[in-house]
A and B are shown apart, each in its own frame.
Chain A
Amino acid sequence: DIVMTQSPPSLPVTPGEPASIFCTSTQSLLDSSGHNSLHWYLQKPGQSPQLLIYLGSYRASGVPDRFSGSGSGTEFTLSISRVEAEDVGVFYCMQTRQTPLTFGGGTKVEIK
């Protein structure tokens, strides 16, 4: 199984400041089409997860442009250019390169 590791597990942030979350995989997520099968989800308190970034760097529909994804192979980053109060929750990376599909352990973002 591909193991996904996120850091940090907890991230206190100041509104208006940037933030970054890291995700590594035990196998390369780059497929033959040149896409990384790595996606980011945000689970806000009391809600279902929602898709933020797919294929490593593509913003999902309706996602603010302060969110961006980067990386390739086994190392990925989710960046928030200016954190807003509504961004609190748990961020998860997920690989779909092979089954079983696996999630990272999550990064809990909270306002300082």
Chain B
Amino acid sequence: QVQLVQSGAEVRKPGASVKVSCTAAGNSFTDYDIHWARQAPGQGLEWMGRISPNRGDTNYAQAFQGRVTMTRDTSISTAYMEMDRLTSDDTAVYYCAAGNDNIFDYWGQGTLVTVSS
């Protein structure tokens, strides 16, 4: 069993950046890749990318390439998703998720990021 706990809601101005954390408790942090997905208000889910906590290698969706950076700190079992050059279109709930073979058995509670001037 893995519990994923995300950082709290954030408010940013357009052009700023945001960094969301996802801390894994209850099992070995390096057992699963950590994925990030987002959900704009009233919309569906959009996959952003993944990071392997073990090796640190990443894979990003083309839509976010160059604007998103996923990192991890294995010493505190935490993964991070940082997004730059925010616009109002980035207002969404951001989720981390984990599981074997890209099957998301575990989800964080979500972090609302609001981009507003």
Q: What band does the interface of chain A fall in when counting residues whose beta carbon is under 8 Å from B?
A: 20 to 34
Expressed in whole angstroms, the Cα–Cα distance for A55 and B100 within the complex equals 12
The verdict on A11 contacting chain B, using a C-beta distance below 8 Å, is no
Q: List B residues at the A interface (Cβ < 8 Å).
A: 35, 37, 44-47, 59, 61-63, 95, 97, 99, 101-105, 107-110
**Inter-chain contact B109/A103, CB cutoff 8 Å:** no
**Inter-chain contact B104/A41, CB cutoff 8 Å:** yes
B18 to chain A, nearest CB (A): 19
**Inter-chain contact A51/B105, CB cutoff 8 Å:** yes
Expressed in whole angstroms, the Cα–Cα distance for A37 and B101 within the complex equals 9
CB neighbours (8 Å) of A99 from chain B are 59, 61
Expressed in whole angstroms, the Cα–Cα distance for A90 and B43 within the complex equals 11
Contact of A100 among B47, B101, B109 (CB under 8 A): B47
Known pairs A41-B45, A90-B44, A101-B102 / 15 extra A-B pairs, C-beta < 8 Å? A39-B103, A39-B104, A48-B108, A49-B45, A51-B99, A61-B105, A92-B44, A96-B103, A99-B59, A100-B47, A100-B61, A101-B47, A102-B47, A105-B44, A106-B45
